[in-house]
Amino acid sequence: MVEIKTDAALEMMREAGRVVAQALEAARRSATVGVRLRELDEAARAVLTEAGARSPFLGYQPSFAPSPFPAVICASVNDALVHGIPDDYRLRDGDLVSIDCGAELDGWTGDAAISFTVGTPRPADLELIAATQRALDAGIAAATVGHRIGDISHAINAVARTADCGMPADFGGHGIGRQMHEDPHVANRGRPGRGFPLRHGLTLAIEPMLMAGGRDEYRTDPDGWTLRTIDGSRAAHIEHTVAITRDGPRVLTLL
């Protein structure tokens, strides 16, 4: 069921979104050469604890996962697309890192992701991140009253294909509110004018995931969580929680 939020609920979601942004920024600041991924999780966890927020990631176990997720962030490095488990891997010069984080505060949830490089960046990685950001921006721009979910999906896909990037067909964005994952599903490819109508008070997590190799296939690590590009090419993932309003799309997961 799709829940349309009141204006008061949107304000509550904005506060949860602000905590997500702070946690992501803390993880990014911690991400230097030699630092373990586990330490990025600790930095984000400290922000959530200070804010009195709960992690919707920690202990989460969807149908595809063999075990509950053990951290408050997903930390995906280089060819890891999404759902990377933060472990004792030490960041290296030139790594491309994607961090996904959520927060539940006073019964409402925010979800966002960032991608960035550590140390000396590869130009191709910066181009991939920029293309992913453009795809997200296009999706957000299409998230207006009177449009449909397919308009968001089409806008994201158009940018990805122009950049010659691949995208996983079966992972995308989602409704969000009292729970991290709610209806409707927001595919990263679709036909304009199709799907659920966008109304004032609808809240969506919009999240393009681009793979530099141009292929849409991926593989799953033995941990049952981490998704990797099938050809070893690098990947980027950027996400915001967005409210559709009469005044245009409102991003709820900014600092």
Domain ranges of the chain: 7-251
Residue 138 neighbours by CB distance under 10 Å: 20
Dihedral Cα 113, 171, 136, 6, nearest 10 deg: -80
Strands (E), 78-138: 80-82, 96-105, 108-117
Residue listed under structure tokens 């397919």? 150
Token readout for 148 is: 């449909």
The token pair that represents 161 in the structure block: 């294909």
What per-residue confidence (pLDDT) applies to 21?
99
| Residues 118-160 pLDDT 10s | 999 999 999 999 999 999 999 999 999 999 999 999 999 999 9
Torsion sign, CA atoms 218, 215, 160, 202: negative
Measured CA to CA, the distance from residue 235 to residue 97 in angstroms comes to 9
Q: Nearest-5° angle of CA 71, CA 222, CA 57?
A: 20
Query: Would the CA dihedral through 212, 216, 218, 224 be positive or negative?
Result: positive
The per-residue pLDDT for 102 is: 98
Residues of the chain with pLDDT under 70: none
State residue 188's pLDDT score: 98
Residue 132: the pLDDT is 98
Which residue type sits at 133?
Q
Q: What is the pLDDT of residue 82?
A: 98
**Residue pointed to by tokens 């602000």:** 18
CB atoms under 10 Å from CB of 239, counted, come to 27
pTM higher than the cut 0.85? yes
CATH of domain 7-251: 3.90.230.10
CA separation for the pair 186, 142 (Å, rounded): 12
The pLDDT value recorded for residue 168 is: 96
- Classified as helix, coil or strand, 27 is helix
